[in-house]
Chain A
Amino acid sequence: MTGLARTPIDDVTLRLADTAAWLTTPLMPEDYLTLINPLWSSRELRGRVEAVHPETKDVASLVIRPGRSWSTHRAGQFIRVGVDIDGVRHWRTYSLSSAPERGDGRVTITVKSVPGGVVSTHLVHRTTPGTIVGLTRPEGGFVLPEPVPSRLLFVTAGSGITPVMAMLRSLARPGEMPDVIVLHSAPTREEVIFGPELRTLAGRFPHLLLHEQHTRSSGRLNLSQLPDLCPDWPERHVWACGPTGMLREAETYWREAGIADRLRMEHFRPAVTTSAAGGGGHVRFLVSGREADADGATPLLVVGENAGVLMPSGCRMGICYRCTGRLRSGRVRDLRTGREYGEEGELIQTCVSAADGNVEIEL
Chain B
Amino acid sequence: MKTISEAEIEEFGRELDKIRDDVIASRGEDDARYIRRVIAVQRALEVSGRALLFASVLPPAWLAGTAALATAKILENMEIGHNVLHGQWDWMRDPAIHSSTWEWDLVSPARHWKYTHNYLHHKWTNVLGKDRDIGFVLLRLSPEQPWHPYYLGQPLYNAILAPFFEWGVALHDLEVERLRGGDKSWAEVFAQVREILRKAGRQAVKDYVAFPLLAGPLFLPVLIGNFTANMTRNVWAHTVIFCGHFPDEAATFTEEQVEGETRGEWYLRQLLGSCNLTGGSLFHIMAGNLSYQIEHHLFPDLPSNRYAEVAPRVRALCERFGLPYNTGSLLRQTARVWKRVFRLALPTPTPKSRAGCPTPALTQAA
Contacts and interface: CB of A to CB of B under 8 A. Distances in A.
Contacts of A22: 202, 205-206, 210
Contacts of A25: 202-203, 205-206
Given A26-B199, A322-B114, A317 B123 contact: yes
B90 A347 contact: yes
B27 interface: yes
B123 A23 contact: no
Interface stretch (A86-94, A111-119, A246-254): A86-94
A125 B259 CA distance: 54
Q: What does DSSP make chain A's interface, helix, strand, loop or mixed?
A: loop
Contacts of B105: 26-27
B100 A347 contact: yes
B95 interface: yes
Nearest to B96: A44
A144 B42 CA distance: 49
Contacts of A44: 95-96
Interface residues of B, number: 43
Nearest to B88: A321
Interface residues of A, number: 29
A346 interface: yes
B43 A86 contact: no
Nearest to B119: A314
Interface in B1-52: 21, 27-33, 40, 43-44, 47
A32 interface: yes
Contacts of A324: 90, 99-100
Nearest to B81: A26
Interface of B is mostly: helix
Given A22-B202, A22-B206, A86-B29, A319 B118 contact: yes
A259 interface: no
Given A31-B43, A89-B93, A319-B301, A314 B118 contact: yes
Contacts of A87: 27-33, 91-92
Interface in B66-107: 86-87, 90-96, 98-100, 103-105
A106 B224 CA distance: 49
B211 interface: yes
A256 B205 CA distance: 70
A23 B209 CA distance: 10
A32 B94 CA distance: 16
Interface string A6-48: 0000000000000000111111000110010000000010000
B115 to A, nearest CB: 7
B300 interface: yes
Contacts of A318: 301
A337 B13 CA distance: 15
Contacts of A84: 29, 32, 92, 94
A25 B199 CA distance: 9
A44 B90 CA distance: 17
B122 interface: yes
Contacts of A90: 93
Given A86-B29, A87-B28, A346 B93 contact: yes
A26 B99 contact: no
A109 B95 CA distance: 24
9 contacts: A26-B202, A27-B105, A31-B96, A32-B43, A87-B27, A314-B115, A317-B123, A320-B114, A322-B114
The 7 closest A-B pairs by CB, nearest first: A87-B32, A321-B87, A314-B119, A320-B118, A26-B103, A86-B28, A89-B93
Interface of B: 21, 27-33, 40, 43-44, 47, 86-87, 90-96, 98-100, 103-105, 114-115, 118-119, 122-123, 199, 202-203, 205-206, 210-211, 214, 300-301
Interface of A: 22-27, 31-32, 35, 44, 84, 86-90, 314-315, 317-322, 324, 337, 345-347
Given A315-B122, A320-B87, A322-B118, 6 more contacts: A23-B211, A84-B32, A84-B92, A87-B32, A88-B93, A314-B119
